[in-house]
């Protein structure tokens, strides 16, 4: 792919996350390419080389090349000529330095050629090696170009920063100075960024700093970071679940402010409501399914400062796979409201027993 562009007289570099992660020794999921070739040139070169080219974002310089079924985004070097805090008007460039200085963090402005040589226009290599998240040039200017970068700073810090280095003071001062710009962001963008942050192995330090700087209250009024640390610690035996951690923050109108999907909102509501119940683990699994039940159990344990017992996950999984053993057919002489009330009462008894009562015990009671 890079060779195809180079053979046509252009430069081509792997850029961004794939280079950053390689430097850090972290697996990368996406591979992006930057080039001095124009989008039209990239399309033409790909067609000449027998590679499928999809014009996914020509106005912004991006062409997707599909090789052996795998898509790779190839984007022309760009330079911003105008920004409004959400979008940028760009012109194409032939200079790597122009492209690098329009990016957010130094560690994201690393370029590597196909031979493995890393080009470092803004000093990102040392930052990546040290696991230091730092804005390129003036942090205030970078944030005003796109206010989402304030949230990205915390997300990247949660995923990549060395906690022993502390927090970049210039970045925090810039974020505090530009808080008013957060209201210009769409709920979809804020929600996606927040859930990525909360999916980090341990987002608690980042969330706590967000609270101190004033970002958390702007995103979710009424949110409190007190429980995020205990929830992260209590849930270390299961895959990180951003919805459980979101439930731990509390706050008002979370679904609307973060534009959660219907399923995410349903899980959030279940975690919040069931975390305050005294139901057993099997009953939690039956009522809410595995993900929400695990979240409720973790939040409940963290709130009560009580460790989760051995086998709690298996109990939840068992409950999620269990069916209520009594049906309407067991009461041929009942119908209508009387039948509904009888089934409801029996189910409450069954749930109170943590699903241990058998059909015979229920019907004989």
In whole angstroms, how far apart are CA 320 and each of 293, 314, 355?
Answer: 9, 10, 11
Q: How much of the chain exceeds pLDDT 70, in percent?
A: 98
- Please report the pLDDT score of residue 302 as a whole number: 96
Q: What is the pLDDT of residue 60?
A: 84
Cβ-based burial of 243 (10 A; exposed 0-12, middle 13-18, buried ≥19):
buried
DSSP assignment of 248-293 equals: HHB-SSHHHHHT--HHHHHHHHHHHHHTTS---HHHHHHHHHHHHH
Residue ranges and CATH numbers for the domains of the chain are 1-130 (3.30.460.10), 328-364 (no CATH)
Cα-flanking dihedrals φ and ψ of residue 71, to 5°?
-85, 140
pLDDT of 65 > 80? The answer is yes
- Alpha-helical runs (H) found in 214-261: 215-219, 228-234, 242-249, 254-258
Neighbouring C-beta atoms of residue 257, cutoff 10 Å: 18
- β-bridge partners, 85: 146
- Given this model, what pLDDT does residue 85 score? 60
Q: Which of 34-38, 83-87, 138-142, 176-180 has the lowest mean pLDDT?
A: 83-87
Q: How confident is the model at residue 345 (pLDDT cuts 50, 70, 90)?
A: very high
What pLDDT does 67 receive? 87
Tens-place pLDDT, residues 152-169: 999 999 999 998 999 999
- Tokens at 46, concatenated: 């790909």
Q: Which helix (H) or strand (E) holds 188?
A: helix 187-198
Q: Which residues contact 164 (CB under 8 A, 6 or more apart)?
A: none
- pLDDT at residue 84, rounded to an integer: 65
Tell me what pLDDT residue 80 has: 83
Cα–Cα distance measured from residue 45 to residue 262, given in angstroms and rounded to the nearest whole number = 44
Q: What is the mean pLDDT of the chain?
A: 93
């Amino acid at each position: 792919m890079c060779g195809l562009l180079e053979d046509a007289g252009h430069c081509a570099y792997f850029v961004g996350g794939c280079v950053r992660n390689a430097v850090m020794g972290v697996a990368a999921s996406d591979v992006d390419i930057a080039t001095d070739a124009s989008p039209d040139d990239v399309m033409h070169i790909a067609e000449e080389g027998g590679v499928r080219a999809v014009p996914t974002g020509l106005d912004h310089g991006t062409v997707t090349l599909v090789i052996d079924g795998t898509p790779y985004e190839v984007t022309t070097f760009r330079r911003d000529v105008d920004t409004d805090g959400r979008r940028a008007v760009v012109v194409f460039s032939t200079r790597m330095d122009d492209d690098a200085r329009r990016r957010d963090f130094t560690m994201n402005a690393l370029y590597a050629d196909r031979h493995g040589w890393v080009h470092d226009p803004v000093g990102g290599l040392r930052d990546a090696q040290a696991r230091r998240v730092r804005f390129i040039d003036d942090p205030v200017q970078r944030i005003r170009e796109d206010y989402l970068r304030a949230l990205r700073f915390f997300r990247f810090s949660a995923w990549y920063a060395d906690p022993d280095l502390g927090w970049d003071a210039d970045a925090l001062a810039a974020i505090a100075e530009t808080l008013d710009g957060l209201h210009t962001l769409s709920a979809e963008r804020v929600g996606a960024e927040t859930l990525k942050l909360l999916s980090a192995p341990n987002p608690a330090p980042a969330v706590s700093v967000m609270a101190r700087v004033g970002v958390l209250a702007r995103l979710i009024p009424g949110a409190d970071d007190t429980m995020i640390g205990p929830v992260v610690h209590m849930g270390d035996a299961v895959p990180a679940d951003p919805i459980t951690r979101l439930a731990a923050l509390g706050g008002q109108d979370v679904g609307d402010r973060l534009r959660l999907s219907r399923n995410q909102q349903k899980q959030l509501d279940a975690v919040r409501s069931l975390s305050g119940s005294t139901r057993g683990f099997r009953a939690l699994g039956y009522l809410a399914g595995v993900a929400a039940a695990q979240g409720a159990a973790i939040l409940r344990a963290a709130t009560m400062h009580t460790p989760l017992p051995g086998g709690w996950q298996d109990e939840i999984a068992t409950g999620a796979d269990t069916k209520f053993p009594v049906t309407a057919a067991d009461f041929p002489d009942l119908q209508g409201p009387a039948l509904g009330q009888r089934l409801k009462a029996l189910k409450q008894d069954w749930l109170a027993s943590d699903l241990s009562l058998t059909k015979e015990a229920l019907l004989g009671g």
